[in-house]
Structure 1
């Protein structure tokens, strides 16, 4: 291990690794330090249940990465280093208590026909959205893929005004500010269609009535309809392994099991890091921290030198937590609503807008929701290599749950310690799946239940199990992520930069904040 680098990056999340790849390509010597024994942050794959059953620890969907500017620049090299995607044409679906289901697929007319079975008016609304999407996507992706600086974003909006006119641009702004319920109830009349699309808002801390959440159900539904979905062949860690190979080929190093205790400063500038074991490592050009704001303050021992900045970092708000249930199965769930559901990458159990809103409020109040939203990932439908022949893995994300338990909305669980609650609450989630797929529980070979606090212990950025590393509500998004004046990762400490999901453009596997920071530091 070197004793000094041009840049030191704290954490091996996807933004860290993308940043290291680009800086390495620009000739920087980069060292990446990770507290966990396995690199990747939320993007890693482990044999959590039995040998031969590979489970994505947290992130499964790699579509954002495959569509990112970073992948456009480095995708060919990463593919040569083993990165491989498994595409899904049947992307996501929802099941309902009346025995019906709805799903989005890429096949010609498939999705429209399913919508028309609920409402011909909704099918026409879907046609309209699909027809307008290419023109809309150009400007939305430009917004989400650009640094959050006034002059840069101003050019994005001026371009939209010039090409599309004031009324169209105003409608785009309205979409960006609307809640999922507002957008979906204005666009569709079927409760089934509305609920299926609204479930995507829950992935990113947007319950149906949260302003600013409409754009996520819109983008996910349109992107999946037009492009499909991809997951990692063999596991999401195909990305992590390829990125690390690229970093090492440029002379960089990745060190796991090395917890960073603090950022070193000299003459008011970040000069390196001190590890928990006492070792000190120098960085001549930059220290880059892929940490949540609270984690940054710990690295700075509580003071950056700018009290206003410190207050903003301490006030940064996290979303409710999640719980993961990883299952090794003898067979896929037999979904009562339809055999075709076995072909989908994701099946949501989120029956209505009102149920999602109630679940979110219960979790925010510290209660275990009586009916959590379930994201049931079926990765072996898309990529059979993740399990022995004829067997399957199931990836179940339980949204939302509190990091600190104040009680149980159902009045059934009296314990408030996640160590005691973990398996009890997993049974509630599994019973919900069983109600939609009778006999499902009898197919479970083994399981691993990961509580919100387990997620945080592995990755301190996931405070209270918050898998999006901070709420994306309007007061903490765009110019305000993580705080006004710091959306580019700038900190008051010279040569110290913040990156990761807590920085614009936020959560997901798109590597946006890491790549944009690397371009800022090392050049495009």
Structure 2
């Protein structure tokens, strides 16, 4: 009987398992898919000579995460690579806003749109240098982050107090208009806000766009050398060296609750896996409370709140194997790992408005990844492994493109939507479609079939909007990994601080379990000795 059972071998589940194993706990991880990683995986299915990431690709939050830094994954084979430029936002007239890890290069790009906008970017960066460390501390520690919040409050006061706080909660369109005269800086902020499901007019989208922009300015948008799954491989290798067990193709059907405590899980094939101390669930909140835990163990208020749980937008993704580099009109875009594809702020707002009305956008805003530019090992020299994803509504009422898309995502509808994304790219990179050697289409149902946490193609475990963050995540009055069932912890992106590959939800769940079962004095020493006898190693004593 392991001390802990972890449901799901996504990055959060694997982080949680590693931290528990570091404390001498025996851990068993059960994963429903045939391989670990959740949304951090790659393969060669598009073309045998090309490495294609299935889901996520660029990891600024991983680079900034103290959780992952403390795991020392570089000692387990993980290496990072960067594109020459972090991000580019080209326009159809040939102009291009560029985010680079060198602030002078970023500032110069924005001055080309309007003199003085480079200095405006430097002021936003100075604000990040003052507030960034405490913001990251607040993000990556359990809620409520009392010490980080206290420090952040003092720094906010010194930096202008309410005026600074006001800036961070602005809609990104308003923030851009207040900070910049030209379009370049506005585009960098707004495009980064749309990495989540935050439209340009949403409150708080300015703060999110600023955060993602400054992460790129400071850490870049790095990628694991060899494919996204290299990050997963390092986590699994580390866990196994500490005695942890990973079992794939083991979907969990339900959580066993006895006397109000999580006692283990029941797998789909009828196996009971008991847990001596805790069950940690790297699954979405609706899956945990709506499927795995019987309603009799939950309050009527929680069940009612879950009916109001809001997923982030559905995602439609296309992967390509290209015979050559993408022929962007704006030369600066050729050096960027990530390219934002939309012809200005008005097109971004138009895209968001169409989604809000339940329409499939006719000119979809696309995040475009140039993976060989970021990591030359991804494909043969002179070629490009590329992808793009866009958002679509979960419930589709009409097609703004007049091609009859209904959201059934049949093979025909998938091909129509993939062609639409390619035409959007072609507007900014004439000749792109002629370079395509092969492509793979991942519609929302396909994404969910490959990772059940990606419900309907939602990739962030729930909306990033303000009404479902902090104490409201996943439902009002929570914000922490503890659940109504003793010994059961929510360890997924549905918990604070939410989506992105950084490991914080898993780490928070592991810490909560450790606090609950911290063993004093002799009992702790006896447990360490027992574990040493079983594994031949003595784990670190950190409590």
Pairwise TM-score range, normalised by the shorter structure: over 0.9
Deviation of 1:415 (Å): 4.7
Deviation of 1:132 (Å): 3.2
Give 1:401's match in structure 2, choosing from 373, 389, 392.
Answer: 392
Distance in 2, Cα, partners of 1:387 & 1:510: 27
- Gaps spanning 5+ residues in structure 2: where? 516-541
Distance in 1, Cα, partners of 2:261 & 2:376: 50
Per the alignment, residue 539 of structure 2 pairs with none
Normalised TM-score (structure 1): 0.94
Say whether the 8 Å CA contact 2:491–2:508 is kept in structure 1.
no
SS of the equivalent of 2:275 reads strand
Per the alignment, residue 113 of structure 1 pairs with 108
Give 1:43's match in structure 2, choosing from 35, 40, 48.
Answer: 40
Instruction: Sort the Cα spacing of 1:365 and 1:293 in 2 relative to 1 into closer, same or farther, 3 A.
Output: farther
Q: CA RMSD in A?
A: 1.7
Greater CA drift, 131-140 or 314-323? 131-140
Normalised TM-score (structure 2): 0.91
Per the alignment, residue 121 of structure 2 pairs with 126
Per the alignment, residue 185 of structure 1 pairs with 177
Deviation string 1:94-128 (CA, Å, 9 cap, x unpaired) is 11122211111123621111111111231221122
Deviation of 1:365 (Å): 3.2
Say whether the 8 Å CA contact 1:379–1:394 is kept in structure 2.
yes
SS of the equivalent of 1:345 reads strand
Asked if 1:453 corresponds to 2:433, the answer is no
Per the alignment, residue 286 of structure 1 pairs with 278
Distance in 2, Cα, partners of 1:511 & 1:395: 24
Deviation string 1:9-31 (CA, Å, 9 cap, x unpaired) is 11111111111110000011111
Deviation of 1:167 (Å): 6.2
Distance in 2, Cα, partners of 1:464 & 1:162: 41
Taking the TM superposition and a 5 Å limit, the aligned residue runs for 1:221-370 are: 221-296=213-288, 297-338=290-331, 340-370=332-362
Asked if 1:417 corresponds to 2:408, the answer is yes
Distance in 1, Cα, partners of 2:405 & 2:242: 54
Per the alignment, residue 498 of structure 1 pairs with 490
Deviation string 1:52-103 (CA, Å, 9 cap, x unpaired) is 311111111122112211122112xx21211111123410011112221111
SS of the equivalent of 1:174 reads helix
Per the alignment, residue 207 of structure 1 pairs with 199
Per the alignment, residue 32 of structure 1 pairs with 29
Give 2:511's match in structure 1, choosing from 484, 502, 519.
Answer: 519
Distance in 1, Cα, partners of 2:406 & 2:139: 42
Deviating beyond 4 angstroms after TM superposition, the runs of 4 or more aligned structure 1 residues are none
Distance in 1, Cα, partners of 2:314 & 2:399: 15
Distance in 2, Cα, partners of 1:217 & 1:164: 19
Instruction: Sort the Cα spacing of 1:282 and 1:388 in 2 relative to 1 into closer, same or farther, 3 A.
Output: same
Per the alignment, residue 465 of structure 1 pairs with 457
Per the alignment, residue 56 of structure 1 pairs with 53
SS of the equivalent of 2:350 reads helix
Distance in 1, Cα, partners of 2:354 & 2:77: 43
Per the alignment, residue 82 of structure 1 pairs with 77
Instruction: Sort the Cα spacing of 1:187 and 1:216 in 2 relative to 1 into closer, same or farther, 3 A.
Output: same
Per the alignment, residue 14 of structure 1 pairs with 11
Distance in 2, Cα, partners of 1:180 & 1:415: 31
Say whether the 8 Å CA contact 2:83–2:375 is kept in structure 1.
no
Say whether the 8 Å CA contact 1:62–1:236 is kept in structure 2.
no
Deviation of 1:163 (Å): 4.8
Greater CA drift, 481-490 or 496-505? 481-490
How many residue pairs get aligned? The number is 514
Asked if 1:442 corresponds to 2:434, the answer is yes
SS of the equivalent of 2:297 reads coil
Deviation string 1:163-213 (CA, Å, 9 cap, x unpaired) is 553663323432342211121111112123312320111111111011122
- Gaps spanning 5+ residues in structure 1: where? none
Per the alignment, residue 534 of structure 2 pairs with none
Deviation of 1:381 (Å): 0.6
Per the alignment, residue 94 of structure 1 pairs with 89
Distance in 2, Cα, partners of 1:219 & 1:108: 15
Per the alignment, residue 104 of structure 1 pairs with 99
